[in-house]
Structure 1
Amino acid sequence: MKGIILAAAMTCIAGSAYADGATTGMVGGAATGAILGGPVGAGVGAVVGGVAGGVIDPPPAEVVTYVQQAPAPAETVVVQERVQVGAALPPDVIVTPVPDNPKYGYVVIGQERVIVEPQSRKVVQIIQ
């Protein structure tokens, strides 16, 4: 019983103390894993929770609308690697910033509009 209360308290403290999703996911996963599987479950839960907590949040609706309606650049972008959410774009791909929300940028690759986090170059969402 003490373990369950301690795990629940750790989850609440971590959730309020950290804005980082991966950290919160790790602590929450460890707490849940400890409840279900003891010390081994805590380790497994921390790894799974960290991965799930590190998932990129979708952009706001106004960013998606802007990227959908923005004119396509004159040059075609070709990327050799498969473009997928969470993966970083190559450094030679030019990311166009979203004017009203500099936290996001976009690239048009073929027929897909790709919303990107400019600092990390990670793909946030792919619009078909």
Structure 2
Amino acid sequence: MRKTMLAAAALMLTVSSAAFAQSSVIITDPAPTGSTVVLPGEVRTYVMEQSVPSVVYDGDIAVGATLPDTVEIHTVPNVNGYGYTVINERRVIVEPQTHRIIQVLE
């Protein structure tokens, strides 16, 4: 009986992990902190569907880089903590308060 319950629990974790993986993207910060950001799938989908003008920028466009305040950040409706912009024809997801890039979409 105990083995059956353990097997059932393991199966549930496997199934729920697969469902979670389909709706979220996990991003590991390459900075020394090594922090991990779980990006809801709907954020990526929303950002990819938006048509906003691209901004020309000479700085670094990489995860962990901070964009200047002069770069307009657009909000993602109904999801707190995520913003986006398009820089040099590349879509980036940022933390709206800090302008820190958390993902560069390809």
Do the two structures share a fold, i.e. TM-score over 0.5?
yes
Q: 1:63 aligns with which of 8, 19, 43?
A: 43
- Report the 3-state secondary structure (helix = DSSP H, G, I; strand = E; otherwise coil) of the residue aligned with 1:116: strand
Give me the TM-score of the superposition, normalised by structure 2.
0.64
Partner of 2:55: 77
Partner of 1:12: none
Give, in angstroms, the shift of residue 92 of structure 1. 0.5
Unaligned runs of 5+ in 2: 1-30
* Structure (1/2) with the larger strand percentage: 2
Q: 2:72 aligns with which of 94, 98, 107?
A: 94
Tell me the distance in 1 between the aligned counterparts of 2:57 and 2:80.
23
- Answer whether contact 1:56 1:86 (CA < 8 A) is retained: no
Tell me the distance in 2 between the aligned counterparts of 1:112 and 1:101.
21
Larger radius of gyration: 1
Give me the TM-score of the superposition, normalised by structure 1.
0.54
Give, in angstroms, the shift of residue 52 of structure 1. 4.0
One-letter amino acid matched to 1:124: I
Q: CA 1:79/1:56 → structure 2, altered by over 3 Å: closer, same or farther?
A: farther
Which contiguous aligned blocks of 4+ residues in structure 1 show a shift greater than 2 angstroms? 50-53
- Report the 3-state secondary structure (helix = DSSP H, G, I; strand = E; otherwise coil) of the residue aligned with 1:51: coil
Unaligned runs of 5+ in 1: 1-49
Tell me the percent identity. Answer: 41
Tell me the distance in 2 between the aligned counterparts of 1:58 and 1:125.
11
- Report the 3-state secondary structure (helix = DSSP H, G, I; strand = E; otherwise coil) of the residue aligned with 1:62: helix
One-letter amino acid matched to 1:51: P
Partner of 1:122: 100
Tell me the distance in 1 between the aligned counterparts of 2:98 and 2:51.
24
Tell me the distance in 2 between the aligned counterparts of 1:90 and 1:56.
23
